[in-house]
Each structure stands twice: as C-alpha cells, then as structure tokens.
Amino acid sequence: MVKHASRKSWLMTDDSAVYPKIGREFAGHSSVNHSADEYVRLGGFAHSNSVESFFAILKRGVYGTFHSVSEAHLHRYLSECDFRYNTRKVSDPERAESLLRGTKGKRLMYRQAD
C-alpha cells in the first residue's frame, strides 16, 4: 500500500490485525470493528464503506466481464471500475456521453507503437 498510496493519506480500514502496522506509514489511521457490528465512527468520518463499494464493482467486473486480470493491464481494469464507481449516480445516457467525451482524440492499442 505504501508503494501506491500517498503517505499523506488518512487510512480507513476494518479491524484486521494487519492494518495497525501499515497505518503508521500514513498521516493517520482510523478503523471500524465489523466483528462488533460497528461500520462507521467519528460522526461518519471513519468507515470502509466506499472502498467496499468500489471492490464490489471490481469483483463483479472480474467475475462477470473480465474473467481474468493480467498485471500488465491491471491499471486499465481499475480505471474502468473507477469510472463506473464515479458515475454510479448518473443516468446511462449521461455516463455514455461522458465516456465518449473521454475517448475523443485517443487511440487504445494493445501494444504501443515503437
């Protein structure tokens, strides 16, 4: 995590034992205790609901659409899921329009030309 996330970030996790050590690498760390039916704390500040929602979209993509994810193209799969997550509250036509606007002037190739 410290390789890919800014250390200026505030880490939000569940109560897994692996997170306290990693949490010391970040600006701050808050956790919720799911095993005690706690899902949000500090007036809504500390929760892992957003990441769990994102991972649900990612898992549905892997199981239902992608079927297999290669490390070489992982950033592309994550970008697609990021787009889906960030546009989850807009209508389908608005999402399609946003998608088409984002592709203007771009060409996606399997391999980059030398």
Average pLDDT rounded to a whole number, residues 12-38: 90
Average pLDDT rounded to a whole number, residues 31-43: 90
Cα–Cα distances (Å) from 104 to 65, 70, 100, 101, 108, in that order, read 24, 26, 7, 6, 11
Query: Is the CB of residue 47 less than 8 Å from the CB of residue 40?
Result: yes
Query: Is the CB of residue 34 less than 8 Å from the CB of residue 19?
Result: no
Query: Is the CB of residue 26 less than 8 Å from the CB of residue 12?
Result: no
Beta strands in 14-105 (DSSP E): 28-31, 40-41, 46-47
Average pLDDT rounded to a whole number, residues 72-95: 94
Q: What are the residue ranges spanned by the domains of the chain?
A: 10-47, 50-103
| Backbone region of residue 40 per phi and psi (left: phi > 0; alpha: psi in -120 to 50; beta: other values) | beta
Does residue 113 carry a pLDDT above 80?
no
Q: What is the pLDDT of residue 3?
A: 83
Q: What is the pLDDT of residue 19?
A: 87
Percent of the chain's residues with pLDDT above 70: 99
Cα–Cα distances (Å) from 68 to 35, 61, 114, in that order, read 31, 10, 27
Query: pLDDT by residue (tens digit) across 52-74?
Result: 999 999 999 999 999 889 989 89
Mean of the per-residue pLDDT values of the chain:
90
Does residue 112 carry a pLDDT above 80?
no
Average pLDDT rounded to a whole number, residues 83-92: 95
Query: pLDDT by residue (tens digit) across 90-111?
Result: 999 999 999 999 999 888 777 7
